[in-house]
Amino acid sequence: MPELPEVETTLQGLIPHLIGKRIDGMIVRQRQLRWLIPYDIENKLNQAYILKMHRRGKYLLIDVESGTLIIHLGMSGSLRLLSHSSPLTKHDHVDIIFATMTLRYTDPRRFGAILWTDDASDYSLLKNLGIEPLENIFTGHYLFSRTQHRHVPIKSFIMDSKIVVGIGNIYAAEALFLAGIHPLIPASRLTEDQCYRLVKAIKQILRRAIKKGGTTLKDFMNSDGKPGYFSQQLKVYGRAGLSCVQCGFAVLQAIKLAQRNTVFCPACQLL
DNA sequence: ATCCGAACCTGACGGC
DNA sequence: TGCCGTCAGGTTCGGA
């Protein structure tokens, strides 16, 4: 489900409701997500006030005085704000309870994570992450310098969170299409100019997707339970076999790359 | 250091 | 209807 725009949409939906609020309790119905939810997390969060909420890559970080609650939505996770009486459905694994509402984590595939750290700046899953794609330090020059001597396909490269965070399968395909770059080109073979174009495309795609509230394919919902509308703007993802919206004649082609479906235009994105 | 595939899990869908 | 294989928005980890 969620790439950076969906996580950002969720975060921005939650912030106005949760900052400064006190957590009155936490109910864990299913501890086994990607990793086990730590057994002491209910104690750590009980009666804690939410000081700050932010995002690092696709990780949602919720700061309280004694540390940080870390939430990752995996492939199928979502967070919604509900009334206390809202009926439970099958994969509602965790509730965080506030005075007037419940924050509910739902995740059918359980690839997501709910973790705790006393010190987010020294947490293994966070400290080796690459840079944020929407920050100014993510430049064509940065990307070009990192591609040197790297032989992986450029699509895998921009999806590598040690290089740049937040770019998943949908937006990687869309950004490469927008930049006119074939997904299979080895990273080291990109010219500096192509790196500039790719970075520009990534920023543009992500910003536009955030503006539309993310991409809803089957079931993505923001924290108010509303879908995102960026799926209507997708130019290659999910369109294999259809004609290219840019050149109008080539048929979009699908290949498997690093176990992920990858769609591109063989005419607009030359190898 | 780099790269690749396996692993985690459920549900939806198409074919027989 | 039911069973089987395939696929799905992520990413860490282990081994080559």
> What digits encode the pLDDT tens for the residues A200-242?
999 999 999 999 888 766 666 676 777 788 888 999 999 999 9
Give the separation between CA A209 and CA A204, rounded to whole angstroms. Answer: 8
A142 CA to C11 C1' in angstroms comes to 23
Annotation says A58 is catalytic: yes
Average pLDDT over residues A20-38: 98
- Helices A4-18 & A192-211, crossing angle to 10 degrees? 40
Give the separation between CA A158 and CA A169, rounded to whole angstroms. Answer: 10
Total count of residues recorded for chain A: 271
Amino acid at A81: L
What is the per-residue pLDDT for A165? 98
Q: Token pair for residue A221?
A: 């919902």
Looking up tokens 């984590």, which residue turns up? A105
Burial (Cβ within 10 Å: 0-12, 13-18, ≥19) of residue A205: buried
Q: Torsion angle of alpha carbons A86, A92, A93, A96, nearest 10°?
A: -30
A96 SS3 class = strand
* Strand C and A215 CB separated by under 7 Å: yes
Tell which residue, A203, A199, A214, A251, has the closest CA to residue A73: A214
Q: pLDDT tens, A231-270?
A: 889 999 999 999 999 999 999 999 999 999 999 999 999 9
What is the per-residue pLDDT for A220? 64
* Strand C and A220 CB separated by under 7 Å: yes
Give the separation between CA A179 and CA A172, rounded to whole angstroms. Answer: 11
Bridge pairing between strands A102-106 and A92-97: antiparallel
Rounded to the nearest integer, the mean pLDDT of chain A is: 95
What is the per-residue pLDDT for A255? 97
Provide the whole-model pTM.
0.97
Give the separation between CA A103 and CA A114, rounded to whole angstroms. Answer: 13
Bases along strand C below 7 A from a protein CB: 7-13
pLDDT at A22 over 80: yes
Annotation says A260 is catalytic: yes
- Reported as a pLDDT band with limits 50, 70 and 90, residue A163 is very high
Give the separation between CA A171 and CA A159, rounded to whole angstroms. Answer: 9
What is the per-residue pLDDT for A221? 65
A262 CA to C3 C1' in angstroms comes to 30
Nearest nt (C1') to A108 (CA)?
Answer: B10
- Reported as a pLDDT band with limits 50, 70 and 90, residue A124 is very high
Q: Token pair for residue A5?
A: 């725009």
What residues contact residue A33 under an 8 Å CB cut-off, 6+ apart? A74, A93, A107, A110, A111, A112, A113, A114
Q: Token pair for residue A196?
A: 């500039």
Q: Token pair for residue A224?
A: 């108010």
